[in-house]
Amino acid sequence: MTVTRSSRETARPGRLNGMTAINVRGLRKTYGSHHAVDGLDLDVEVGEVFALLGPNGAGKTTTVEILEGHRRRTSGEVTVLGLDPGHADRHWRARIGIVLQSTSDAADLTVHEIVRHIGGCYPNPRGAAEVIDLVGLTDKSKAKVRTLSGGQRRRLDVALGIVGRPEIVFLDEPTTGFDPEARRQFWHLIRRLSAEGSTILLTTHYLDEAEALADRLAVIADGAIVAEGTPATLGGRATAEAVVSWSGGHREHAADPVALIMRLVAEGADLTGLTVTRPTLEDTYLALIGEAR
């Protein structure tokens, strides 16, 4: 498979309004001689679901922590909701929601108590019962946090991240530990938050999750973005050659599979079991991070 690397693909879904929620130019974070983030540029529009993909150590979490104001950058320009997160105040923090890879918790509080407590830190929170229902923990509302399973604690993390009605939600590998049913429920929640106007920045190792949820996505390798686009266009995916297979083990690559099939029909070929496939998002992703190494 041939994949064309693109530093920036400009496709935009029609529903987006063109206003920028996140703007990053030349972002760098270094630790001695190590460049965790190396000249990263990024734009995320208001109301968009944007996914960051990349292998472990690529710089995803470091980038997200800088955008959240939890980590200082070495250089570059960053604005989130119009402000520099490195100098933002508590009013700005009330406008964002964060779901980290792991969090500490108040083990002896109940689920309802901790959600209500965190909600009280925001000016216009959702009701605790509503949030608990949204993340599928209603039957655990009175349970102590320390009694929850790993997947249930992850759901609680999500609840604490959205209780304040954030304008932008940072989700760092939010479905780790979720079973398939819980993941699907989470996807429904993300679509609901997006429909209500929240901007979502998501990191995930699940490519089916990125494809199902993201309006656009970017692949990070070695601290830099190596490709960006919609799930359908990332890395030239939409224009990559198709693979046409048919009976007898025949298989051929074609830029125009329709023309190939018409030729085969004209030649009287047996097309039993005909399939036409293009590179999956996983194929494209693996090729992109392979090229970057």
Residues 206 and 256 in one domain: no
- Using a pLDDT cut of 70, give the percent of the chain over it: 91
pLDDT of residue 132 exceeding 90:
yes
pLDDT at 4: 36
Residue with tokens 């970057």: 292
User: pLDDT (tens digit, 9 = 90+) per residue, 190-237?
Assistant: 999 999 899 999 999 999 999 999 999 999 999 999 999 999 999 888
Q: Where are the alpha helices (DSSP H) in the chain?
A: 60-68, 90-93, 111-119, 128-134, 150-162, 180-195, 207-213, 257-266, 281-292
278: pLDDT confidence band, cut at 50, 70 and 90? confident
CB atoms within 10 A of CB 285: 23
Evaluate whether residue 80 is within a structural domain.
yes
| Domain assignment present for 128 | no
The string of pLDDT tens digits covering residues 6-18 is 333 333 333 445 6
Which among 176, 204, 192 is positioned nearest to 131, based on CA atoms? 192
- Tell me what percent of the residues of the chain surpass a pLDDT of 90: 67
On whether residue 140 sits in a domain, the answer given is no
Q: Is residue 125 part of a domain?
A: no
In a domain, 150, yes or no: no
Number of domains the chain contains: 2
Stretch 175-200: mean pLDDT:
89
Q: In the prediction, which pLDDT does 18 show?
A: 60
Could you give the C-alpha distances from 10 to 92, 126, 218, 222, in angstroms and in order? 29, 35, 12, 22
232 and 255 assigned to the same domain: no
Confidence band of 5 (pLDDT split at 50, 70, 90): very low
Q: What is the pLDDT of residue 293?
A: 61
Distance CA 109, CA 106 (A): 6
pLDDT category of residue 151 using cuts at 50, 70 and 90: confident
Same domain, residue pair 202 and 268: no
- Inside any domain, residue 35: yes
CA torsion sign, 185 to 187 to 193 to 199? positive
pLDDT of residue 217: 95
Q: Are residues 217 and 262 in the same domain?
A: no
User: How far does CA 20 lie from the centroid of its chain?
Assistant: 17
> Residue 200: which of 48, 59, 98 has the closest Cα?
48
Q: Which residues span the domain enclosing 217? A: 1-95+197-239+280-293
Phi, psi (5° rounding) for residue 241? -60, 140
Contact partners, residue 121, CB within 8 Å, separation at least 6 = 94, 164
Give the DSSP letter of residue 148: S
Q: What are phi and psi of 237, to 5 degrees?
A: -60, -40
36 and 86, same domain (yes or no): yes
* Chain CA centroid to CA 237, Å: 18
Q: Is residue 148 part of a domain?
A: no
Instruction: Specify if 229 maps to a domain.
Output: yes
Q: Does 81 share its domain with 34?
A: yes
Orientation of helix 150-162 relative to helix 180-195, angle to 10°: 0
